[in-house]
Structure 1
Amino acid sequence: MFYKSIIEKNSPSYQLLMLLILFFVGLFLSSFLFAVFLIPFYGFEILENLQSVANISDYNSIFLLKMMQLISSIGSFIIPPLLIAHFSSNNLFSYLAIRKSDNMLLLLVITFLLIIISQPIINFTANINSHLVLPEFMNGVEQWMKQKEDEAAMLTEAFLKVNSTSDFLLNLFIIGVLPAIGEELVFRGVMQKLFIKITKNIHTGIWITAIIFSAIHFEFYGFLPRMLLGAMFGYLFYWSGSIVVTIWAHFVNNGMGVLLAYLVQKNVVSSDFENLQLPGNEYMWVLASTLSVSALLYWVYKHKNPAVEQGFYENLS
């Protein structure tokens, strides 16, 4: 095909630009299609203001916002990397590293443990991040960011409220499954590999991608912990040679939040569990967490997929 030959023969920078264009096109089209879907219920004025359905105290409005999130995730995060892979390679699965890795079951168990064990580090960096302040001349920007963070927190809380098990499963799909698949395909499956090709350095490519991964969520006070998670996902992807591993890691991380919120509402877990402190010295827990995560990542490194040594990124040129 004509488009296939154009993208396939161009540089990683060109492929990165095409990914960005497809992302925004997908975001626009998914929003437009969602608005068209709502016309029978809200009239044509919905085309002018999608936010008119955003009443977070109303169950039906929240459900519609969830549907919008679902369509947007597919249109802007899942379809674009699939198109890039299709037009850039003769083998979509190979390009996106959708493959079984050696010791896959053990890798998935280790990945699960990594997410659990890394929580003291994540919480510690989140606490540091929450105390960061911008220079005085950027006070207006800081106030705007705080306002947006508060609005996002309110929307997330509304999203996580459930009336039934089916609501919980829908949340798990929209907040856990779709972002895990879509964001990993975009950031690790395509973007990280392209940045490694552009910079000709594995670590630079992984960390640039992790920074963008964190920044695109537009949550300043969660930037550091999300960046660290992005870097961990990046190394897991590179050493395992399989996007399946990082999709699983991403799902476990997001799914834990959805599950805990559900258990709190069912009174299985105390509502103040987030304020619970680990016994003993906090820094000792952070140190233990750091050493444990390092040890598990080292195991993944020592047992890395042979594909890494056999030109894992050669098909991107």
Structure 2
Amino acid sequence: MGYLRQYSPFLQLITFLGLWFAFMLLYSLFLAGFFPAISGGYTIGQMEDTKVWGDPAFVRGLKIVQFLYTLVSFLVPGLIFAYLAHPRPAVYMGLAQRPRTLQLLLALLVVFCALPLVNVLGEWNSTWPVSQSLRDLEELATKQTKLLLNMPDIGTMLFNLLLLALLPAIAEEVFFRGVLQRILTAWVKNGWAAAIIAAIIFSAIHMQFLGFMPRLLLGFLMGAIYLVTGNLWLAIAGHFLNNGLQVVLVYLYQAKMISYDAMKDEHVPAMYGLFSALVAGLLIWQLYKKARAAGQAFALPPEPGDEEQAAETDNDSIFKDH
């Protein structure tokens, strides 16, 4: 373990992206060869044909594809790189320490209180001038999401919490914050800049341009939580809250328990968004102070050859010199 520690941050970044590309290629080859076997005989080309979407076998295949995409594209390359980059991968990613109760509550509140601003940005983002072909792709992706979120019973809802909320929260935070943001921090020597860059890449990889800004904000919030605490579990919890809340609200609407449709865009006044940003910022500051008081904070990966530092848990704050 730790074979990549002698590489510069730039070479680590290139290695990590190359690893990601290799697993994306493997995933694409698997999809091309085995999708008919897992979807009842349908081809990849038929994934865009809404006429077959009513077949339970096709929906089952679509869920398997979603599971494999999250696992192979994000979780596996992230874990492999962490294993190769540090003698203690859990320490490297910020998974070695259990989150404290108050910190967990603050992290969840950061995400929850920022949702009005997310909606404001989403409404603005939807007005961006993009080509009709891109809008058609966005509409197709939205329809496929609605197909996956069709939940006739609570068992399906619980499965969707696992598939669409918990697994993506773990996999994407490992990839984008636990590895990518750490590499970028070591490269650019600025934790906040690294959090922004990682959030931009996080949003861009999803390839949904009309949802780019709200996803960018959410990615930055997860990066900020990770930056001020050094604990990836807190970012995972915030990510899970955002995704899981959507799943639960959609289920409650479909079960006619609430009248609010979470799949529909609703107007949120800009003033609410500004207040939301202020509250979220104050909560991040409180989270930072609690982490400092507990002796926790984000630490850069150890320098090559520094075995003593590699054996320590993350005790030194990235804010120490600022």
TM-score norm. by structure 2 comes to 0.84
Q: Distance in 1 between matches of 2:223 and 2:167?
A: 18
Matched, 1:303 2:290: yes
Question: Contact between 1:195 and 1:205, CA under 8 Å: does it hold in 2?
Answer: yes
Counterpart residue type for residue 70 of structure 1:
F
Counterpart in the other structure of 2:113: 117
Shift in Å, 1:28? 2.9
Q: CA–CA distance in 1 between the matches of 2:261 and 2:217?
A: 26
Given the two structures, how large is their TM-score scaled by the length of structure 1?
A: 0.86
Mapped to 2, the partners of 1:196 and 1:175 lie a distance apart of 29
Counterpart among 204, 207, 229 of residue 240 in structure 1? 229
Q: Identity of aligned pairs, percent?
A: 30
The aligned runs of 1:84-103 (5 Å cut-off) are 84-100=81-97
Partner amino acid for 2:15? M
- Taking only aligned residues, the RMSD between alpha carbons, in angstroms, comes to 2.4
Deviation at 1:34, TM superposition (A): 5.3
Match of 2:22 in 1: 25
Match of 1:62 among 53, 59, 63: 59
Structure 1 SS opposite 2:297: helix
Could you tell me whether the CA contact under 8 Å between 1:101 and 1:241 is conserved in 2?
A: no
CA contact (8 A) 2:110 2:283 kept: yes
Q: Give the equivalent residue in structure 2 for 1:225.
A: 214
Letter in 2 for 1:59: P
Which residue, 201, 215, 220 being the options, matches 2:204?
215
2:173 partner letter: E
Q: Does 1:132 align with 2:122?
A: no
Pair 1:275–1:63, CA change in 2 (3 A):
same
Q: Does residue 259 in structure 1 map to residue 248 in structure 2?
A: yes
Greater per-residue helix proportion: 1
| Deviation by residue 1:63-107 (Cα, 9 ceiling, x = unmatched) | 1111111112111111111111111111011111103267x1111
SS at structure 1 position matched to 2:180: helix
Matched length: 298
Moved more, 243-252 or 10-19: 10-19
* 3-state SS of 1:314 partner: coil
Which consecutive residues of structure 2, in runs of 5 or more, have no partner in the other structure? 305-322
Distance 1:38 1:149 in 2: 22
Does structure 2 conserve the Cα–Cα contact (< 8 Å) formed by 1:31 and 1:72?
no
Alpha-carbon offset, residue 38 of structure 1: 5.1
Cα distance in 2 for residues equivalent to 1:121 and 1:177: 23
1:201 alignment partner in structure 2: 190
1:39 Cα deviation (Å)?
Answer: 5.9
**Structure-2 residue corresponding to 1:294:** 281
In structure 1, the residue matched to 2:315 is: none
CA contact (8 A) 1:99 1:244 kept: no
